[in-house]
Amino acid sequence: MRWWEIEASAPELAALAVERFARTGVAMLGTLRGDGSPRISPCEVYAVDGELCLGMMWRSRKALDLLRDPRIVVHSATCSRAGDEGDVKLYGVAVEVGDPVLRERYADTLERAIDWRPPEPFHLFALDVRRAGFISFGEARRALRWTPERGLEAIRHPDDPTSG
């Protein structure tokens, strides 16, 4: 599902994701190298015109990974060992963005956020989300899962006692 569909079907999860990405200004991306081994890379993630956009330097390794195999995981950066701020994981595929209007709007968004505008050429992908999750620890612990089949649901937190 595209980001605007996630915002409509699971607004709480979408808001948590956008807030977590904005808090640190960076997310971690998991891609697959040509030999099938995993690669972890940092990336700025912004919601622009209903798309969750991932911009990358031209011909960067992570962009080349996605052009070859679009499967991706996007994980909000966790900055405390306690995990009480929570983290979001989005699983899906990256879709290359060629639309000049969306590319321009992404560049405008990035420039407002970090006072830098990506020069062309650059890679831009939109995330097509297949499943997602959120977990936080500590006093306000909670666990959420989203799938297209079941929607957003609260699930048992690993720190909660089992019921039997």
Q: Which domains does the chain have, with CATH numbers?
A: 3-154 (2.30.110.10)
Q: Which pTM was predicted? A: 0.94
Q: What is the mean pLDDT of the chain?
A: 95
User: What's the pLDDT tens digit per position in 23-77?
Assistant: 999 999 999 999 999 999 999 999 999 999 999 999 999 999 999 999 999 999 8
Contact 157, 163 (CB under 8 A): no
H/E element holding 50? none
Share of the chain above pLDDT 70, in %: 99
Structure token digits, residue 78: 């966790």
- What is the pLDDT confidence band of residue 89, given thresholds at 50, 70 and 90? very high
Q: What is the pLDDT of residue 164?
A: 46
- DSSP string covering 32-74, please? E-TTS-EEEEEE-EEEETTEEEEEEETT-HHHHHHHH--EEEE
Q: What are phi and psi of 145, to 5 degrees?
A: -135, 145
Residue 110 predicted with pLDDT over 50: yes
